[in-house]
Structure formats: C-alpha cells, structure tokens
Amino acid sequence: MNNDEKYHAWKDRPCPMDVSADFSADVMRRIYRQAEHRRIVRQNWFGFFECLPPSVQFALLAAAAIIGLGRFWLLFSILLKP
C-alpha cells in the first residue's frame, strides 16, 4: 500500500458499534424514573418551589425572610434603640 492508500485505509476503518440490546430500555427506565420523581416532587410545596426559576426562588426567599424578621420588630426596635 502506498501512503495515500494507507491514509484512506486508516480513515475509512469501520468502527464496530455493538450497542447493547438493553440500551434503549435502560435509557427509558431512567427517563420514566425521572418523570415519576418530577411528578412526586411537584405534588408538594417544596417540589413546587423547586420548579420555579431561580430568580423567583430568590425573590420568594427574600420576601419570606423580611416577613419572618418583621415579626420581631419590637425586639429589634428595643435592641437597636440609640
């Protein structure tokens, strides 16, 4: 074989791909598991929260923190009194 033939023989080598018979079944199993997990998660409050975009999550957390701390306004006002 000359150089060109060798180059083409190298480049055109078939790549034997033995895809296991269970490949698609395994993928689908993982996908069903995830879909089921997502469905369960969405059924509770935390799940609902997880589904929200991060910016909305941060906004809700910030609002909750302000409301929560607001309950102690009397304590804070006494402590921070000049």
Partner 1 sequence: MPEDSDIVKHVLNGDIDSFRILVERYQRPVLSMIRRLIWNSHRCEEIGQDVFVAAFQKLSTFDPARSRFSTWLFTIARNMSINASKKKALIPVEHLPEILDSRNPSDEFSDKEFFAQMDQTLKALPGKLQRAFILAEFEQMSYEEIARIEGTRLGTVKSRINRARLRLHAAMKDIEGGKV
Residues lying near partner 1 in the complex (CB under 8 A): 1, 3, 6-7, 9-17, 19-20, 23-24, 26-28, 30-32, 34-35
Whole-number Å distance between alpha carbons of 48 and 29: 24
Rounded to the nearest whole angstrom, what is the least distance from the CB of residue 12 to partner 1 in the complex?
Answer: 8
Rounded to the nearest whole angstrom, what is the least distance from the CB of residue 43 to partner 1 in the complex?
Answer: 16
Rounded to the nearest whole angstrom, what is the least distance from the CB of residue 45 to partner 1 in the complex?
Answer: 22
Whole-number Å distance between alpha carbons of 38 and 40: 5
First CA to last CA distance, the chain: 94
